[in-house]
Structure 1
């Protein structure tokens, strides 16, 4: 996994938490992630929709 910072050196909101959860899960392959998309939001999840998840910024 490659994490990049925003210009000015700031992390995107939630990025640090996402990296920590990914590492604690044993750094799973990208196939362990899924995505749920509705008209209102986009959510990336690890393992299952009920597992760790992150709302994407629009």
Structure 2
């Protein structure tokens, strides 16, 4: 959970990165992003990114 929190903090802290992540999520979907991460902590990061994406798109 700490990894997901830190990942989101870094993404939100960098506007360029934030836009790139949102565009990647829109273009390829969450499952493709999960495959890229391919890490045991990925499920926490993916869940956090899904929630974050919903708040940014809304």
Structure 2 length as normaliser, TM-score? 0.26
Answer 1 or 2: which has greater helix percent.
2
Structure 1 length as normaliser, TM-score? 0.26
Answer 1 or 2: which has greater strand percent.
1
Q: Which has the higher contact order (CA 8 A, sep 6+)?
A: 2
Q: Which has the larger radius of gyration?
A: 1
